[in-house]
Amino acid sequence: MSDDIARARALLRDAATAVVLTGAGISAESGVPTFRGGSGLWGQFRAEDLATPEAFARDPRRVWEWYAWRRTLVAECAPNAAHRALAEWALHRGTVTIVTQNVDGLHARAAREAAGEDDPARALPLEVHGSLFRDKCSGCGTRSDPVPVDATSVSTLPRCPRCGALLRPDVVWFGEMLDQHVLAAADGAAATADVCLVIGTSALVYPAASLPLRTRAHGGVVIEVNPEATALTRAAEISIRGAAAAVVPQLLNEG
């Protein structure tokens, strides 16, 4: 075991409270594409065409086609060893808040699998960028379970049963506000945690990227797990260069 991993293990073990911030990298080994970097989604697609409210207003069919493809892709993926180790740790400790930028639902799936017959609540994440598997009305804002999407034309796209406006995926696009209750809960956890464990995010997208800085500002430590240096590396007490599924179980598992 490397010195950094041993130090990080001790800090995590001794922390009275911890917050975990995850990004697309934690799901990379499950087969979910990341956004940035060589093979990331933003290398193949333009965020401005797909992940902004303006793009949806301009071409909702194209946006839905892309999200329908991603729903299918993610539905075929499963939580990996990093999601599982985090879920077990959070269930066991009860003083851990998992905050994820991911919309793939893999933390919640790992939490339910780890809890079995028990209540998974302690390991359910705060999903600050929403969920791929929930719809929201673009008119009245009502949230609902996802309906099957036929993106052949605008006239076949799903509509709100209450007001008739187009439904959209309940994810947070660029230029949109995050859910204020979810963000406040994440911010509160980050601002009081002894340790912030940051896994698999480029830490470029705000306000999520400021959460570890909140922990640091009040005297807590930041531990980063990422194969590459990021915007956050300089603020991290310990930066472990490695893949999440290999490193995270080493940090959190007992023994």
149 binds ligand BJW (CB under 6 A): no
Q: So which residues are the catalytic ones? A: 129
Q: How many chain residues are in contact with ligand BJW, going by CB under 6 A? A: 34
Asked whether the beta carbons of 209 and 232 are under 8 A apart, the reply is yes
Q: How many chain residues are in contact with Zn ion, going by CB under 5 A? A: 7
Closest distance of CB 70 from ligand BJW, Å: 7
40 binds ligand BJW (CB under 6 A): yes
Per-residue contact string for residues 137-176; x = within reach of Zn ion by CB under 5 A: x-xx-------------------x-xx-x-----------
Closest distance of CB 119 from ligand BJW, Å: 27
- With CB under 6 A as the contact rule, the residue among 131, 202, 215, 250 that binds ligand BJW is 202
25 binds ligand BJW (CB under 6 A): yes
What is the rounded end-to-end Cα distance, in angstroms, of the chain? Answer: 12
- Bridge partners, residue 100, by sequence: 22, 127
Subset of 100-119 contacting ligand BJW (CB under 6 A): 101, 103
86 binds ligand BJW (CB under 6 A): no
> What is the binding site for ligand BJW (CB under 6 A)?
23-25, 28-29, 34-37, 40, 51, 101, 103, 129, 171-177, 200-202, 204-207, 226-228, 230, 243-244
